[in-house]
Amino acid sequence: MRTADYSKERNLLIVDDSAFEQRMLVDLLADYPFRISTASNGLQGYHQALALQPDLILLDVRMPDMDGYTACRLLKANPATQDIPVIFLSGADGDEERIMGLSIGGVDYVAKPFSAGELAARIQVHLKLAQRGGIPAPVAPQSSHPDVVLVIAVKRLIEEQLGSLPGLPEIAQQVGTYREKLSQVFREQTGMTVFSYIREERIRRGEQLLRDTDIEVQEIAMMIGFNNAGNFATAFRERMGVTPSAFRSAIQRQR
């Protein structure tokens, strides 16, 4: 976890494809103790974050080539940048956009237009929260190799959107790559295809829900991305040797 010393300037990274918006943000924050760097798109912002290790990132959502959501997924999948607080800035203020930004790792979502005071206050709050996290206990080292980061980002996306996953081209786009590259890297890193992993994750999640909840089998099937209970039952039986209902009954008898 990153630590902060408030006797020093804090380093901010602004990622926005609009030069006007960049300048506006720099001007708005000119009276505050921030040292500011800028990037013009999501991919550049991701690489800038790796190189500069800013204390906090202000990340626009809607950008060409790589949007803010994609950049955030990569930031949070990379151990070198996963602890950097990300505040999304966007002209879109719907619940769906906010939920998406927070669910993929953003600490805040600020709708445009906003005042300098509001934005600076939110920045300071999240810098202080990051500081209070302290230094965590040692953990096994993780790789920041681009292929490893890509696979982590894909796995997290699959977990987040398991019930309504888009097609493989859209999945690849949401982690900043293309279908062929994703398929190759995922197989090299995991020994599985993306579709095999999705199938395994759906069965694993289904097993968990059958074991730990009283949700009906039909509803579980829809929650984890099957079209109906029959398809779920077939896939579950192939993998587990029993139907979902029989699995749940066996668990209940053991209690």
pLDDT of residue 8: 66
Q: Summarize the confidence of residues 76-92 as an average pLDDT.
A: 93
pLDDT above 70: residue 6: no
Note the pTM of the prediction, 2 decimals: 0.84
pLDDT range class, residue 4, cuts 50, 70, 90: very low
Position 142 scores a pLDDT of 65
Confidence category of residue 9, pLDDT binned at 50, 70, 90: confident
Give the residue-averaged pLDDT of 218-236: 96
Mean pLDDT, to the nearest integer, of 222-227? Answer: 96
Is 117's pLDDT higher than 60? yes
Quick one: residue 116, left, alpha or beta (phi over 0 = left, psi -120 to 50 = alpha)?
alpha
So what's the pLDDT on residue 95? 85
Determine whether domain 10-132 maps to CATH 3.40.50.2300: yes
What CATH superfamily is the domain 146-254?
A: Homeodomain-like (1.10.10.60)
In this prediction, residue 3 carries a pLDDT of: 41
Average pLDDT over the chain, rounded to an integer = 91
Long-range contacts formed by 33-41: CB under 8 A, 24+ apart: 33/9, 34/9, 34/10, 34/123, 35/9, 35/10, 35/11, 36/11, 36/12, 37/11, 37/12, 37/13, 38/13, 38/14, 39/13, 39/14, 39/15, 40/15, 40/16, 41/15, 41/17, 41/65, 41/66
Give the list of residues 6+ apart from residue 213 with CB closer than 8 angstroms, or none.
220
Q: Is the pLDDT of residue 22 over 60?
A: yes
Segment among 10-24, 105-119, 126-140, 225-239 with least mean pLDDT: 126-140
The answer, yes or no, to whether residue 162 has pLDDT greater than 60, is yes
Q: Give mean pLDDT, residues 5-24.
A: 85
Of all residues in the chain, the percent with pLDDT exceeding 90 is: 79
Domain ranges of the chain: 10-132, 146-254
| Cα(191)–Cα(205) distance, integer angstroms | 20
- Tens digit of each residue's pLDDT (9 = 90 or more) over 41-50: 999 999 999 9
Smallest Cα–Cα separation from 36: which of 21, 56, 50? 56
Residues 118-142 pLDDT 10s = 899 999 999 999 887 654 444 445 6
Question: Are 160 and 104 a contacting pair, CB within 8 Å?
Answer: yes
